[in-house]
Amino acid sequence: MNVGIIGSGTMGSGIAQVAATADCTVKLYDTNQEALGKAKSALEKILLRLIEKGRINTEEKNRIQSNISYVDNLKDLSDSDLTIEAIVENLNIKKKVFSELETYVSDDCIIASNTSSLSIASIAASLERPERCVGIHFFNPAPLMKLVEVIPAIQTSKEVLDKSVKTIKDWKKVVAVAKDTPGFIVNRVARPFYGEALRVYEEGIADFATIDAAMKSVGGFRMGPFELMDFIGNDVN
């Protein structure tokens, strides 16, 4: 399967690694050359670490890397069967990229967004064939997090939804199909976690480090709310 990833930042580079590991032919696209270079060297480091840990061998590292090419022209994604967009969280910019992309790809190509919170129906509305649009929402870091939310918009065809779910399962992920509502499932449930933590801080009950430590040691969370907000990035969350 040919997979085009749009945006080679935190999420795009992780999703590219997942797809390449599943033996897809991946083209990772970004307008920023520096971001492409960073994605390439970050993947080298990650795979070397996996070799050190004994999880993969050099042959596997080479296989994954040879499945990915780095491109700076959206037209290069024209032979994609599936594209997943992971650029800046801005509806107008995403819509512009989607409508341009549609002029290059075949009619069968699925055009997906990894948006955390924007309406998939609004993004789909930028396409001539909105039934090919779907949300495919990975969590950070994509190669480690098992869950992926798949979000059909009101326009999404059943065929596109079914194909998307099958593909993500083939990539060894656990799929949750969610309705196209703000925050989908996980981010919606997580909002009160962040919100209450901010309130606890604002009321002077404890500082950031104490709240994080309490949630980790008593609450059993892997990361405290402030650590998690920093990790995800408040601008994209």
Ligand X SMILES: NC(=O)c1ccc[n+]([C@@H]2O[C@H](COP(=O)([O-])OP(=O)(O)OC[C@H]3O[C@@H](n4cnc5c(N)ncnc54)[C@H](O)[C@@H]3O)[C@@H](O)[C@H]2O)c1
**Starting at the edge strand that comes first in sequence, how are the strands of the sheet with 133-138 ordered?**
68-71, 25-29, 2-6, 82-85, 110-113, 133-138, 147-152, 174-177
Q: Which of 85, 102, 149, 227 is catalytic?
A: 149
CB of 58 to ligand X, least distance (A): 28
Q: Which DSSP string corresponds to 115-159?
A: -SSS-HHHHHTTSSSGGGEEEEEE-SSTTT--EEEEEE-TT--HH
Active site residue 66: no
Active site residue 202: no
Residues lying near ligand X in the complex (CB under 6 A): 6-12, 30-32, 35, 86-89, 93, 97, 114-116, 138-140, 232-233, 236
Q: Which of 102, 137, 164, 227 is catalytic?
A: 137
Active site residue 149: yes
For residues 12 and 130, which CB has a smaller minimum distance to ligand X in the complex?
A: 12
CB of 82 to ligand X, least distance (A): 16
CB of 56 to ligand X, least distance (A): 24
Active site residue 187: yes
Nearest to 12 by CA among 84, 66, 64: 84
Contact (CB, 8 A) for 109 and 2: no
CB of 215 to ligand X, least distance (A): 19
Phi-psi domain of 108 (left: phi exceeds 0; alpha: psi -120 through 50; beta: other): alpha
Q: Which of 8, 67, 116, 126 is catalytic?
A: 116
For residues 93 and 209, which CB has a smaller minimum distance to ligand X in the complex?
A: 93
For residues 9 and 201, which CB has a smaller minimum distance to ligand X in the complex?
A: 9
Strand partners, 176: 149
Residue 168 makes CB contacts below 8 A (sequence gap 6+) with 136, 148, 150, 175
For residues 80 and 114, which CB has a smaller minimum distance to ligand X in the complex?
A: 114
Catalytic annotation, residues: 116, 137, 149, 187
